[in-house]
Structure 1
Amino acid sequence: MSATNKLSIHEDWVVVILGAVTIILSLSGLLLPVPQFNWENADDLYNTVVTPTNLGYIGLQFIFVIIIAALGAFLTGKSVKSAVLTFPAVYVLTIIALIMAGNSQVKALNLEAVIFSLAIGLAISNFFRLPEWFKSSLSTELFVKIGLVLLGTGVIFSDVLKAGSLGLIQALAVVLSVWYFAFWVCKKLKIDEELTMMISSAVSICGVSAAIATSGAIKGDSKKLSYVISMVLITAIPMMIFMPYIAAYFHFPQTVTGAWLGGSIDTTGAVVASGSLVGEEALKISTIVKFSQNVLLGIAAFAISVYWTYTQHPAGKDKAAKPTLKVIWERFPKFVIGFIAASLLFSFFIPATVNGEIKGSLKNLQGLWFALAFTSIGLETNFADLFGRNSKKPFYAFLIAQGFNVIVTLIIAFLLFG
């Protein structure tokens, strides 16, 4: 495959740019028709979904999103050729997932498209050997974050301020308690320092992003980082699916459920998918709570880099550069700025009539990006790679810490959002 291009902008800034382009085009009148995926039986499927008109809408949608995906690859310095070759397969699999989720009986079971896209991706990656260039060209985080910026167009800013303040309190309580508990468990199981730091941050803060930020702060081993990311993705799958049903069984309020999901599930995309299973209010609260945790990522990375510098590189032995406040800004998840900006724009500056005209198209694109992201997650996750080559101790530590996280977060969610 072709080499990466020379241009490279941080992915979080790229998703802000791509989200802004999508919103501006929509406000300018470029509204994509929303494809129909709802059907009851085989006849209905052929008469509503598999029609020339609907397939044309799906084709138009494909042209739009592949241009955005290619632009994203170019701006982040990745191979545009690889991205363009990979994307059609991801898109087709995602459309299949959307069609499966559109069945009326499936809808009655409250199963969302993201679950099917994830399952399809996992089935392919675990039964077939995908080439490395294919896996490396998948843009999972890019797709999730574009969807999250677009999600901001449907979140009223007053709700962000209200839930965000409570979410920040919850985030502080959860991050501090869960981080130290995970750190203690890893020490008890004699797990090495690098893995201990990555696991503690991944469980307590925001999963993949926290693991990546921590690895950067401590200059960690990329193989260990890959292992931690695999654990995050695999444990997020059952949590994403079963936690909403547990909440429904015990009749938790949607606000409490959203805070529980947002505070305990480690990946932002899985939080969104899980919140979608519960309802609009739960989706909104879970996203805002997760963002509150994301905001702490820069501060956490700075604290970790200070700790690592002074414990692993004592003064006099190593002249490693001491961390500065610049680290906070470097590690801050910039896509949060895009989400808040979109929320501000649609809360205070876009007339209700205009919002009513374009919100259907934007919400459709938001859901599509999330579904594309979960197809990609499935395609890049292989269970054999996780369990075949690595010690089980880090995984046990991760599970124990995650169990503690789920319980503590639920208690705090009830105290703050009940």
Structure 2
Amino acid sequence: MSSKTFSFTEDWVVVILGLAVIFLALSGVIVPVPSFGWNDFSELGSKVFSTTNLFAILCQFILVYGVGIVGAFLLKKNVKALLVVFPIVYLLTIVAVVLAGNTVVKDYNLEAVIFSLGIGLTISNFFVLPDWFKNALSTELYVKIGLILLGSTVIFGDILKAGSLGLIQALVVVISVWYFAFWVCKKLKIDKEMSLMLSSAVSICGVSAAIATSGAIKGDNKKLSYVISLVLITAIPMMIFMPYLADKMGLSQEVTGAWLGGSIDTSGAVAASGTLVGEKALEISTIVKFSQNVLLGIAAFFISIYWTYSNSVDEETKRDKPTLKLIWERFPKFVIGFVFVSLLFSFVVPSETHELVKDSLKSLQGLWFALAFTSIGLETNFKDLFKQDNKKPLYAFLIAQTFNVIVTLIIAFLLFR
């Protein structure tokens, strides 16, 4: 008789770990939130490197380190290697977060993930990392845990507060821009995996949408890095020039805010550009961007179903419909964790409790994403991001983004004038 050894898949491990972090917070184990904002070296020493703040950073490290160790154990990975590698990745990530916390850097809307990616890429391209080090990196695990924690911010009650016009614009923009971007990618013969990540990034909410889509389809990290690079690079000029164009066009603050919120891919850039226009523009742009953000979970859910179904048919069985069992086996289980957490915080967790834990969970969510991008950088060769084959996705992104700007302006003018 032969016996099968039970083992967890990565998606189920992610659900277990993500929910463990959530329920720890709900039970009262709330990790303090470190502060990374600083203006000069004096503030860097007195605020970021203060004893209290260093203690908060240490508390976060203990939690994520413990989660990483348990994850490696459940997935039967090399725990000894992780014990060495994870602290190094964490230290590099903290350096990235500290750099992103500088006031000047914030003015240019350079997010922590781009520093994480940049630091990782620099190291991987100037030093030869041993295979045991790279094998200890768990990029997908970090990304998916972050996505499950993201579910705690998607509150159905807040969706209603976002405003009917913002939701209408978000739905029309997301659907139309997503399909247009996907169509462009198909015309340019870009592979389906890249097409899905790029289309979601342009149409929904940039970095988070790209990460969520990559998690849903188990996308290639190099492709994800490329899409993230495009989002972050294009967000800066859009943030600067769109308010100027709106002023020259004589648009009201309401229309301008709706245009900015629906066109610019990162929330930070939206807030920065809205501030340049005025208080009302900032309010409307934030509402519209939030309305798009809350569609992230729904979009990831349907994308995962589409990806699972379409890839359940191989060349030998393409005439047969895939079974529900096969679809379930290939369906990314972390999406279930995301939806469960969103429903939990929407209808079960009291608002007072949510207020107590939301900042801690949001900070941990951002930390997991930053850890993931440090890991991506460490396992990626920089030249792979900008090689000849990647010009078509660049063209598709620019075409789709142009379409996004035009369509969003038209819809914003019709709804908010």
* TM-score, length of structure 2 as denominator length: 0.74
Going from structure 1 to structure 2, the CA distance change for 1:301 and 1:132 (only over 3 Å counts) comes to same
- 1:240 is aligned to 232
How far apart are 1:212 and its partner, in Å? 8.7
Identical columns (%) = 39
The answer to whether 1:288 aligns with 2:294 is yes
Larger deviation, residues 113-122 vs 73-82: 73-82
Residues 266-415 of structure 1: pairs in structure 2 closer than 5 A:
274-279=266-271, 281=287, 284-301=290-307, 304-305=310-311, 309=314, 313=315, 318=316, 322-326=320-324, 327-385=326-384, 392=388, 394-414=389-409
Output the CA distance in 1 between the equivalents of 2:129 and 2:118: 16
Contact residue 295 and residue 332 of structure 1 kept, 8 A: no
Going from structure 1 to structure 2, the CA distance change for 1:257 and 1:138 (only over 3 Å counts) comes to farther
Going from structure 1 to structure 2, the CA distance change for 1:290 and 1:258 (only over 3 Å counts) comes to farther
| 1:374-393 residue CA offsets vs partner (Å, 9 max, x unmatched) | 222222221234567xxx3x
How far apart are 1:208 and its partner, in Å? 7.4
- 1:182 is aligned to 185
Contact residue 297 and residue 331 of structure 1 kept, 8 A: no
How far apart are 1:246 and its partner, in Å? 0.2
- 1:268 is aligned to none
- 2:282 is aligned to none
The answer to whether 1:75 aligns with 2:74 is yes
1:250 to 238, 242, 245: 242
Output the CA distance in 2 between the equivalents of 1:88 and 1:325: 43
| 1:49-99 residue CA offsets vs partner (Å, 9 max, x unmatched) | 323343233222211110111222333443333333211011101111222
Output the CA distance in 1 between the equivalents of 2:77 and 2:310: 29
The residue type paired with residue 186 of structure 2 is F
Contact residue 110 and residue 232 of structure 2 kept, 8 A: no
How far apart are 1:201 and its partner, in Å? 4.1
The residue type paired with residue 395 of structure 1 is N
Output the CA distance in 2 between the equivalents of 1:46 and 1:208: 33
How far apart are 1:126 and its partner, in Å? 2.1
- 1:89 is aligned to 88
How far apart are 1:414 and its partner, in Å? 4.8
| 1:268-324 residue CA offsets vs partner (Å, 9 max, x unmatched) | xxxxxx334434656644433443432232343356347x64xxx4xxxx5678341
- 1:37 is aligned to 36
| 1:134-181 residue CA offsets vs partner (Å, 9 max, x unmatched) | 223222222222222222223321345778887666555445443343
How far apart are 1:22 and its partner, in Å? 1.1
Output the CA distance in 2 between the equivalents of 1:338 and 1:416: 34
Output the CA distance in 2 between the equivalents of 1:211 and 1:109: 26
Going from structure 1 to structure 2, the CA distance change for 1:109 and 1:398 (only over 3 Å counts) comes to closer
Output the CA distance in 2 between the equivalents of 1:208 and 1:158: 25
Output the CA distance in 2 between the equivalents of 1:47 and 1:203: 41
| 1:352-396 residue CA offsets vs partner (Å, 9 max, x unmatched) | 3222222222222122222222222222221234567xxx3x423
Output the CA distance in 1 between the equivalents of 2:216 and 2:320: 17
| 1:309-359 residue CA offsets vs partner (Å, 9 max, x unmatched) | 4xxx4xxxx567834143544444433333333232223322232222222
Output the CA distance in 2 between the equivalents of 1:182 and 1:74: 40
Give RMSD over aligned pairs. 3.6
The answer to whether 1:7 aligns with 2:7 is yes
Going from structure 1 to structure 2, the CA distance change for 1:91 and 1:180 (only over 3 Å counts) comes to same
Going from structure 1 to structure 2, the CA distance change for 1:396 and 1:35 (only over 3 Å counts) comes to closer
Larger deviation, residues 333-342 vs 122-131: 333-342
Output the CA distance in 2 between the equivalents of 1:155 and 1:209: 14
The residue type paired with residue 70 of structure 2 is L
- 1:25 is aligned to 24
How far apart are 1:244 and its partner, in Å? 5.2
Output the CA distance in 2 between the equivalents of 1:48 and 1:200: 43
Aligned pair count reads: 371
